[in-house]
């Protein structure tokens, strides 16, 4: 594969720029509302599942597990120019991700993260501390995503097949260990060696056997030189997911470059305020690609998560797709078998966190059984610390049965959770 940065990597580098790790920002002093058992009275008895959080890869996640021959070839952490970063040998491999919750539980504003791992809350990367934070916030379980670019295919491909595949196997091993250590409360989704079909299929099967609850995939693998999802290359993975109920998850839409849409006169904070929203809306393209592809007719039980992109745009996005189906796919020889609303109700789930209008007014339009809750902890947009108050505010007008459906049972169905 080419050594040059892919469009995905460049967009990520621009988003996670060094300015986001610079000293400064504003500290918001917070107070976590105290409720019995951590839960607001209207949410008592509901095991809230937070379907988008980030678990920072611990410093020794790779070096402690790597075979002896590869210990000096896998990523490790060190502080460089005042910032904790990943390195492979002497090569800078990128940041460790976003963590804006401080040890004293206050939140940093105007930055992507504290410069060093130790400045942030240990709940970002330690199981015990994470569980304690969840209990305090009234959250029973979390679906966890990566918190750095160290597991991204575009980066790992440059390390060679053996090392790249090993890194992902070690990451997935750690995910299974964390799941067990947490008492089945932390479910980290797997990453796969996308560039090697044999290794991809083998690792997917191994993750299924280990009890991992789903996969994270890129929106457009072809920008990495990997075939598009409608290529036979993906058939075995999609069949595995279709038959075993394993969801595939698209976390934001990282294939776009929102910097092209932001005024060049803006400084870091203003640019990020606009650019981050483009990633959310970008998942409309992800949803549309799958709807028009015909793949959902071939794999009708496939479960697709549109993660960290909100729910308010869903009705407009589907109505727009309905219109385009009539205008552009009138030729039935190329048209999919079903309609966009049918595909959404059969195959897709979305998430919400900070929104107020959509959960209050659009829940039944989108589908009570199609919406998941998230906090995005410990990232800058995290719903924190008033998790319980926010949920009670936006879902308080619904029945207890509906609240339980949205906050617990949808996630149990989507991710096959053991409770």
Give the pLDDT of residue 54: 98
Contact criterion met (CB below 8 Å) for 347 and 302:
yes
371-377-378 Cα angle (round to 5):
160
Contact criterion met (CB below 8 Å) for 244 and 208:
yes
Range of the domain at 391: 43-57+120-415
pTM over 0.75: yes
Longest dimension (CA), the chain: 61
Rounded-to-integer distance, Cα 149 and Cα 134, Å? 25
Give the pLDDT of residue 14: 60
C-alpha closest to that of 353 among 335, 334, 371? 371
From residue 135, alpha-carbon distances to 107, 201, 288 in Å are: 18, 37, 37
Q: Nearest 5°: phi and psi at 95? A: -75, 165
Rounded-to-integer distance, Cα 342 and Cα 212, Å? 28
Domain-embedded: residue 191: yes
Give the pLDDT of residue 4: 44
What's the token pair of residue 270? 């203003």
Give the pLDDT of residue 1: 36
**Which residue ranges of the chain lie beneath pLDDT 50?**
1-4
Find the length of the chain: 419
Give the pLDDT of residue 2: 38
Give the pLDDT of residue 11: 57
C-beta atoms surrounding 26 within 10 Å: 9
Place of tokens 């993975």: 237
Q: Strand 348-352 relative to strand 26-28: parallel, antiparallel, unpaired?
A: unpaired
Domain-embedded: residue 381: yes
Rounded-to-integer distance, Cα 117 and Cα 94, Å? 13
Domain-embedded: residue 6: no
Domain-embedded: residue 31: no
Place of tokens 């980290």: 188
Sign of CA pseudo-dihedral 98, 104, 105, 110: negative
Give the pLDDT of residue 86: 96
What's the token pair of residue 236? 């075995």
The half-sphere exposure of 231 on its side-chain side, counting CA atoms within 13 A, is 10
Give the pLDDT of residue 149: 86
Rounded-to-integer distance, Cα 293 and Cα 363, Å? 27
Q: Nearest 5°: phi and psi at 152? A: -80, 135
User: Count of domains in the chain?
Assistant: 1
Ramachandran area for residue 135 (φ above 0: left; ψ -120 to 50: alpha; else beta) = alpha
Domain-embedded: residue 84: no
C-alpha closest to that of 123 among 407, 137, 40? 137
CATH at 248: 3.20.20.140
C-beta atoms surrounding 72 within 10 Å: 11
Rounded-to-integer distance, Cα 213 and Cα 241, Å? 10
3-class secondary structure per residue, the chain: CCCCCCHHHHHHHHHCCHHHHCCCCEEECCCCCCCHHHCCHHHCCCCCEEEEEECCCCCCCCCCCCCHHHCCCCCEEEEECCEEEEEECCEEEEECCCCCEECCCCEEECCCCCCCHHHECHHHCCHHHHHHHHHHHCCCEEEEECCCCCCCHHHHHHHCHHHHHHHHHHHHHHHHHHHHHCCCCEEECECCCCCCHHHHHHHHHHHHHHCCCCEECCCCHHHHCCCCCCCHHHHHHHHHHHHHCCCEEEECCCCCCHHHHCCCCCCHHHHHHHHHHHHHHHHHHHHHHHHHHCHHHHCCCCCEEEECCCCCCHHHHHHHHHHHHHHHCCCCCCCCCCCHHHHHHHHEEEEECCCCHHHHHCHHHHCCCCEEECCCCCCCCCCCCCHHHHHHHHHCCCCHHHHHHHHHHHHHHHHCCCC
Domain-embedded: residue 197: yes
Contact criterion met (CB below 8 Å) for 48 and 140:
yes
């Amino acid at each position: 594969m080419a050594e040059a940065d892919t469009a995905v990597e460049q967009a990520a580098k621009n988003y996670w720029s060094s300015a986001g790790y610079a000293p400064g920002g504003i500290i918001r002093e917070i107070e976590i509302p105290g409720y019995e058992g951590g839960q607001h009275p209207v949410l008592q008895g509901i095991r809230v599942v937070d379907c988008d959080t980030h678990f920072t890869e611990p410093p020794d996640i790779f070096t402690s597990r790597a075979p002896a021959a590869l210990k000096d070839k896998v990523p490790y952490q060190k502080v460089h120019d005042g910032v904790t970063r990943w390195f492979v040998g002497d090569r800078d491999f990128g940041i460790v991700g976003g963590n804006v919750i401080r040890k004293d539980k206050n939140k940093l504003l105007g930055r992507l993260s504290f410069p060093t791992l130790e400045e942030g809350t240990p709940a970002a990367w330690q199981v015990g501390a994470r569980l304690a934070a969840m209990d305090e916030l009234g959250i029973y379980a979390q679906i966890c995503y990566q918190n750095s670019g160290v597991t991204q295919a575009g980066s790992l491909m440059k390390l060679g097949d053996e090392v790249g595949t090993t890194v992902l196997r070690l990451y997935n091993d750690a995910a299974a260990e964390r799941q067990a250590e947490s008492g089945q409360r932390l479910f980290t989704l797997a990453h796969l060696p996308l560039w090697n079909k044999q290794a991809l299929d083998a690792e997917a099967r191994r993750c299924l056997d280990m009890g991992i609850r789903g996969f994270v995939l890129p929106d457009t693998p072809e920008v990495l030189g990997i075939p598009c999802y409608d290529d036979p290359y993906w058939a075995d993975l999609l069949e595995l997911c279709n038959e075993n109920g394993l969801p595939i998850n698209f976390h934001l839409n990282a294939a776009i470059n929102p910097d092209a849409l932001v005024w060049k006169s803006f400084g870091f904070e203003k640019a990020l305020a606009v650019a981050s929203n483009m990633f959310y809306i970008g998942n409309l393209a992800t949803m549309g690609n799958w709807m028009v592809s015909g793949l959902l007719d071939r794999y009708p039980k496939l479960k697709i998560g549109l993660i960290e992109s909100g729910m308010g745009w869903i009705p407009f996005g589907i109505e727009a797709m309905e219109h385009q189906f009539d205008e552009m796919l009138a030729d039935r020889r190329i048209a999919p078998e079903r309609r966009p609303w049918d595909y959404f109700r059969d195959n897709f789930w979305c998430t919400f966190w900070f929104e107020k209008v959509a959960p209050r007014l659009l829940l039944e339009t989108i589908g009570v059984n199609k919406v998941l809750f998230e906090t995005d902890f410990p990232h800058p947009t995290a719903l924190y610390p008033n998790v319980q108050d926010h949920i009670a505010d936006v879902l308080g007008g619904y029945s207890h049965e509906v609240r339980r459906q949205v906050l617990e049972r949808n996630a149990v169905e989507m991710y096959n959770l053991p409770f």
